[in-house]
Amino acid sequence: MAARNLNTMFPGHFATAVTTKRIHAQEYGWPDRLNFADLLFFYYRNGLANAAVKKTKAKTWQTVPIIRVGEEGSELSEIEEAIKNHLARIRFWQQFAEADARSMVGDYAGLILQIGDGQPANEPLSNAAGILQIKRVRPCWQHQLRPVEYNTDTESDEYGDVTMWEYQEAALDSGQMQQGPRRRFKIHPDRVLIFSRDGTIHDRSQLEAGFNALFDAEKIMGAGAEGFFKTAKNAPVLSMEDDSGFTQLAKAMGVDEEEVSDKLSDIVKDWAAGFDASLLLSKMNTEFPNITLPQPEQFWRIAAQTFAATFEIPLRILIGSETGERASTEDAKEWSKTNEARRTNEVVPIIMTFIERMQAIGVLPKGVWTPEWESLLDDGPDAKLGRGKTMSQINKDEGDAVFTVEEIRVAAGHSAEPESDGDETDEEPPDDEE
C-alpha cells in the first residue's frame, strides 16, 4: 500500500521492478525487445560483438577433431585416414565451426547435410555406403531455417520435436538479399544438425545478455568521436560592441545589412576550410568557446567489461590489451578452460549426433566412433621442451637417472622411441670369409 501511494505521489520512482526496468529502458535508449535482425546487425557492425563471437569460434576450433574408432593416441587406421582426408577435402569442419559461430548470434543455427542417398530433402536419410556419400554441408542462420511441422502426439516420446524444417536460401542475411538461387524447400530433420547450447531451438542468443552494454559502449564511443570532432571544428563567436560598425561593415562588403550575417558565415566557412587561412574582421571580436570533454575511456571500459562478463571472455582477450604478463597469462589459461568446457558440453554432443546418424545409414561402419580432439589445456611446444630440459637438468644434478630417456622424450612432446631413418638395419654384417 505504501509503495503504491508513493508511486502515485512520485510517478516512476517507486514503481514495481518490472515497471522500473521498462522506464530505465526508455530513459537509456535500450530496446524493449530484441529480434534476430537486431542481433545480426550488431554482429556485423559492432566491433565488440563481432570480436567476441569470432574469438570464441577461433579458440574453440583452434584445432579440428578426428573421428576415430581406434584407441586414442594410436596411429590412424586406413579407414580413419580416409575419413579425415574426405572431411578435410569438403571443408567439413570449417563449415561446422561456422554453424557454431552463427548459433552464438541467434537462438540457434543449423547445418544442412547433403548426403548422396538418392532421396529428396524432405525424406528421411536412407542407406548410403561410404564416407564419400557426404557430399557437402551448409551452415545457415536461424532466419534461414524455420520449423514448420511438429510432433503433436502427446503420447509420443518425441512430442514437441520438429518433424519438418523449411530452408529459405534467399532469406535476409546481412541486410541485403543474397546473390544466387532463391529457393525455399522443406528438409527432413535427419538432414539437419541444430547448434545451440541446449541442443534445441529454444535457446537464447549469447549476445542478448550483454546487448545493453554493447549499446552503451557504442553510444559512448560515438558521442566521444562527435564531441572531439565538434571541438576540433569549433566555430568562432563574432561580436561587435559598436552598432554603427555593423552598417560600416555592410558598406565595406558591398551588401545590404540583412545579408551581412550570410556573408560573415561564408567568410568563416572559407576560413575553417583550411589550416593556413587567416580571419580578418574589422571592429569585430572573435572568441572561441572552450569546450571541455570528459575522457570517455573509463565509461566505455565499464560497458566493455560488462559485455565481456556476459560472454565469459576476459577483457584483455576481447580487445587485445596486455598490460601485464602474469595477468595476460592467467587470462589465457582461464580462456582455454572456458572453451575446453564449451567443446565438451556444447560441440561434442553435436558431433556425436552426426556420428550416430552416419552410422545408422552406413556412411560410417559399425564400432564405437568418437571425436579425438587435442586439448586446449595442453602445454605448447615451448613449455614441453622446457619441461624436458628441466628433467634432463635434474638427472645431471642428481648424478643419477631420475627420469628415463623415454620419459623425457614424452614430456618434451615426442614419441618415446626415436623414429628410424629407414636406412638402418638390424641385420649383422656377414663374417669375413677366411
Q: Helix, strand, coil % (nearest 5) of the chain? A: 45, 10, 40
Identify the residue whose cell numbers are 568418437.
370
**188 and 154 co-located in one domain:** yes
Instruction: Judge contact between 200 and 260, C-beta under 8 A.
Output: no
Between 185 and 402, residue with greater pLDDT: 185
| Domain-located, residue 230 | no
Residue 40 or residue 328, greater confidence? 40
Q: Which residues contact 275 (CB under 8 A, 6 or more apart)?
A: none
Examine residue 420 and state whether it is found in any structural domain, yes or no. no
Residues 40 and 167 grouped into a single domain: yes
Q: Name which of 52-56, 93-97, 228-232 the model is least confident about.
A: 228-232
pLDDT in tens, 324-376: 555 578 888 999 999 999 999 999 999 999 999 999 999 999 999 999 999 99
Is the residue at 161 inside a domain? Answer: yes
Give percent of the chain with pLDDT exceeding 70: 74
Least confident of 2-16, 325-339, 360-374, 383-397: 2-16
Contacts of 173 (CB under 8 A, 6+ apart): 40, 141, 143, 144
Measure the N-to-C terminal CA separation of the chain; round to a whole number of Å: 120
Is it the case that residue 110 has pLDDT exceeding 90? Answer: yes
Residues shown for the chain? 434
30 SS3 class: coil
Average pLDDT over residues 87-114: 97
For residue 197, pLDDT beyond 90: yes
Say if CB 201 and CB 109 are below 8 A apart.
no
Q: What is the domain count for the chain?
A: 4
Out of 136-145, 195-204, 302-311, 314-323, which region has the weakest mean confidence (pLDDT)?
314-323
Cα dist from 213 to 30, 102, 228, 300, 365, whole Å: 9, 21, 22, 9, 49
Do 202 and 69 belong to one domain?
Answer: yes
Confidence label for 307 from pLDDT (cuts 50, 70 and 90): very high
* pLDDT tops 80 at residue 3: no
Judgement on whether residues 201 and 102 belong to the same structural domain of the protein: yes
Same-domain check for residues 134 and 271: no
**What local confidence, expressed as pLDDT, does residue 243 receive?**
60
What is the value of pTM for the model shown? 0.75
The neighbour count for residue 152, using CB atoms within 10 Å, is 9
pLDDT at 237: 66
How many Cα atoms within 13 Å fall on the side-chain side of residue 78?
A: 0
Q: So what's the pLDDT on residue 186? A: 95
Q: Which residue has the higher pLDDT, 198 or 409?
A: 198
Residues contacting 79, CB < 8 A, separation 6+? 69, 365
Q: Is the pLDDT of residue 220 over 80?
A: yes
Average pLDDT over all residues of the chain: 82
Q: Residue 205 and residue 118: Cα distance in Å, rounded?
A: 36
Question: CA of 27: how far to CAs of 12, 23, 31, 42, 333, in Å?
Answer: 11, 6, 10, 21, 40
Task: Please tell me whether residues 17 and 107 are part of one structural domain.
Answer: no
Q: Is the dihedral of CA 382, 383, 384, 388 positive or negative?
A: positive
Q: How confident is the model at residue 246 (pLDDT cuts 50, 70, 90)?
A: low
323 band by pLDDT with thresholds 50, 70 and 90: low
* pLDDT at res. 44: 94
Calculated CA dihedral for residues 221, 227, 233, 236, nearest 10 degrees: 180
What 187-190 contacts at long range (C-beta under 8 Å, 24+ apart), as own/partner pairs, is: 187/112, 187/121, 187/122, 187/145, 188/121, 188/122, 188/123, 188/124, 188/125, 188/164, 189/161, 189/162, 189/163, 189/164, 189/165, 190/124, 190/125, 190/357
Residue 314 within a domain: no
* Residue 214 within a domain: no
Q: Is residue 426 part of a domain?
A: no
Same domain, 128 and 193: yes
Tell me the average pLDDT across 109-119: 95
Task: Cell 556573408: give the residue.
Answer: 263
Say which residue, 224 or 381, is predicted with more confidence. 224
pLDDT at 12: 56
Dihedral class, residue 160 (left if φ above 0, else alpha if ψ from -120 to 50, else beta): left
Q: Do residues 275 and 151 both lie within one domain?
A: no
> What average pLDDT score do residues 367-388 get?
83
Range(s) of the domain holding residue 16: 1-30
Q: Residue 434 above 50 pLDDT?
A: no
Angle, in degrees to the nearest 10, between helices 47-60 and 325-342: 70
- For 228, the grid coordinates are 572531439
The C-alpha atoms of residue 326 and residue 334 are separated, in whole angstroms, by 12
